[in-house]
Structure 1
């Protein structure tokens, strides 16, 4: 439902977080577009999502719509393609025999692994061992 409404606005759903904080329900929706999003786009998306939730009587106390930020989560293969060549931080499962946190350049992926350049070396991390991948910009 959220993704459909965003598609109507030519926006991409990046991530949804639903959290309870101090007995209040927060719904955070992260959106993007190839050339980025601005405040007007976030406002339009907020109105469209709110309208849908009100029609469906979906409970929430606070709805936040924003861009995914500089350290956005990379979840989809489309994200991995788009941000190939960018610096990323990967967190791995405890059962992974290598480092639990990996920071390097995203080189690519296949059906089984994510390839990262780590200190000049190629490291292939099995996709099932990854808990999260985020952009990790340098400042």
Structure 2
């Protein structure tokens, strides 16, 4: 069974569908596709290692080489474009339910496309997610249940606890 793809729209969704199977075959998982620029677009691919080991520069090089060829064949752009490959980093975006589960207990910020109860921005402790809903414990102790389809962007907040947890994961792997 294929891994859950992060939510994308338009051309970013098309590119995600093109590159995800190749990444999976190479032992990686797609975290995010982002396109910036109009005259000469930059395609940013953010990936994780599927085995949970730390992401290295060599991983970026391998992915860039292979996905550059895959995208050349698929030809999603009419003119020139640039490919950038990176790791998700410590203060990474939360794009898949598994990211929300993996980083439960850490602080995150969320921006919604459409306000919920009059709010568009939330900050709190990640409680987890399923296919439909992400959950945060807010500073006032209440739980926010946010429709994942409405999340414009969500990312971890860089804290001492997150740095320590990331360092501990790196030592284990």
Is the structural similarity TM-score above 0.5?
A: yes
Moved segments of 4+, more than 6 Å: none
Structure 1 residues not aligned, in runs of 5+:
none
8 Å CA contact retained: 1:29, 1:66: yes
SS in 1 for 2:93: coil
Provide the residue aligned with 2:37 in structure 1: 20
RMSD over aligned CA atoms reads: 2.1
Instruction: Select the structure that is richer in strand.
Output: 1
After alignment, is 86-95 or 8-17 more displaced?
86-95
2:20 paired with 1:3: yes
2:146 paired with 1:126: yes
Task: Output the TM-score relative to the length of structure 1.
Answer: 0.84
8 Å CA contact retained: 1:115, 1:122: no
8 Å CA contact retained: 1:17, 1:27: yes
SS in 2 for 1:91: strand
Tell me: CA distance 1:129–1:50, structure 2 relative to 1, closer, same or farther (3 Å): closer
Structure 2 residues not aligned, in runs of 5+:
1-17, 161-173
2:153 paired with 1:135: no
Provide the residue aligned with 2:170 in structure 1: none
Tell me: CA distance 1:129–1:26, structure 2 relative to 1, closer, same or farther (3 Å): closer
SS in 2 for 1:53: helix
